[in-house]
Amino acid sequence: MGVKRIYLAGPEVFLDDAVEMGRRKKDLCRAYGFVGLYPFDNEVVPASPSDRLDRLIFSANASMIAEADLAIVNLTPFRGPSADVGSVFELGMAFGQGKPVFGYSNVVEVYLDRVSASGPVTEDRKGVHRDGFGMSIENFGNADNLMIDGCLAAQGRFLVRNAVPVAARFRDLDGFETCLRAASEFYAAGTVSERFRA
Amino acid sequence: MGVKRIYLAGPEVFLDDAVEMGRRKKDLCRAYGFVGLYPFDNEVVPASPSDRLDRLIFSANASMIAEADLAIVNLTPFRGPSADVGSVFELGMAFGQGKPVFGYSNVVEVYLDRVSASGPVTEDRKGVHRDGFGMSIENFGNADNLMIDGCLAAQGRFLVRNAVPVAARFRDLDGFETCLRAASEFYAAGTVSERFRA
């Protein structure tokens, strides 16, 4: 089987202690028998002045996702009612490539409540909530857009939500560890069925 | 070759005239020789009371993406400085499956400017801009997170940006039509090289 490699997606790459956050996540991966792949693992150095740093980071991350066996994605709301779009892109990419995906959020409120808190919301005669642009707001009790919760549900999982104080919102790793445990159980179950294969 | 099918991703599914928007997009696809696949094409009817509508919509969309040859994604900022996360998930999924992806936004400002407009931003001694959580804000001149602009650039494309009045932000299809033209040229070029293949 070999040791499984986990792509570690999340907005913590924007923290001033992003490298230390990666170290903490990778240490936890190791404790659960995994290897963590973190965006900052790659030292991205432009080879020529015309090389764009952002394009090199994109390629490095996309290659890491392709190489990973699974992904754990930090889906904590970021700069608005939804998760970081960079992390969501990576979730979609990993899911599209058929890899097991796991997700957590350090905010527990449902999506509708967060949108309602961020601006004027009306309710039409059919009970549909609408934002300032008249656009409907999903009301399924999900943490975020139905594609996000849905891709986890399609794999028999759910988005892990923990109530974390605002000050620790992007550094708390309890939800991450819950995902690690779930991943560990997922592969342990897989091992059992592989054991009985011809 | 056959007619190429385009998955039509975007937050217009949340408009009260979402079905009409889909019709307009599909008509334009037809005018350029494509077939458009739009989320509302599927009549999603729960077979039993325990079926969750959101999960059925997820499955229908994910199947359509898998079946499509390419995707055109509306990446107009939605409920915050970034694109709709549902559309971004679908962009990532299509890209992860190796399909050509095209994207447009009806807002021209760069990401840093939009984040700056939405809350307090500071600049540290190294010139790095940071939000209220102290998290760095990308400053690459991109329309959105580097994974979004980057996946288009990796395929030799760019995110089409048009200045559209706020009232028309989620209904204007000029950027969509620019993507259709680009897709049309992409496949026309492909046909030429196929023609000279052994």
> Which residues of chain B are within 8 Å of residue A16 when distances are taken between CB atoms?
130, 134, 136
Query: Has residue B198 got a pLDDT over 50?
Result: no
**Chain A residues inside the 8 Å CB shell of B63:** none
Q: What is the structure's pLDDT at A64?
A: 98
Distinct helix (H) and strand (E) counts, chain B = 6, 7
- The CA-based diameter of chain B, rounded to the nearest angstrom, is 60
Separation in Å, CA of A45 to nearest CA in chain B: 16
Euclidean distance between CA atoms A75 and A105, whole angstroms: 5
DSSP class of B23: H
Q: Residue B134 and residue A83: Cβ atoms within 8 Å?
A: no
- Print burial letters for B43-82: b (CB count within 10 Å at least 16), e (below 16): ebeeeeeeebebbbbbeebbebbeebbbbbbbbbbbbbbb
8 A C-beta contact, residue A121 and residue A90:
no
Strand partners, B70: B6
Tell me if B58 and A169 make a contact (CB, 8 A cut-off): no
Asked if A55 and B94 come within 8 Å (Cβ–Cβ), the reply is no
pLDDT tens string B138-187 = 999 999 999 999 999 999 999 999 999 999 999 999 999 999 999 999 99
Whether A148 sits inside 8 A of B86 (CB atoms) is: yes
Q: What is the DSSP letter of A37?
A: E
pLDDT at B197: 52
Long-range (24+ apart) CB contacts under 8 A made by A43-49 are none
At B43 the pLDDT is: 77
CA-to-CA distance for A84 and B147, rounded, in angstroms?
Answer: 11
pLDDT band at A194 (very low <50, low <70, confident <90, very high): low
Nearest to B108 by CA among B144, B150, B72: B144
Q: What is the pLDDT confidence band of residue B13, given thresholds at 50, 70 and 90? A: very high
Three-state DSSP class for B77? strand
What average pLDDT does this structure show over B112-127? 94
The pLDDT value given to residue B109: 97
What digits encode the pLDDT tens for the residues B34-43?
999 999 887 7
CB-closest option in A61, A92, A169 to B96: A92
The neighbour count for residue A123, using CB atoms within 10 Å, is 12
Cβ-based contacts of B59 with chain A (< 8 Å):
150, 154
Please determine, for residue B195, whether its predicted confidence score (pLDDT) is greater than 70. no
pTM of the model: 0.96
Percent of chain A with pLDDT over 70: 95
Short-list B54, B65, B69, CA closest to B9: B65
Residue A87 pLDDT level (bands cut at 50, 70, 90): very high
Determine the residue among A79, A110, A148 to mutate to test chain B binding: the one whose Cβ has the most chain B Cβ atoms within 10 Å. A79
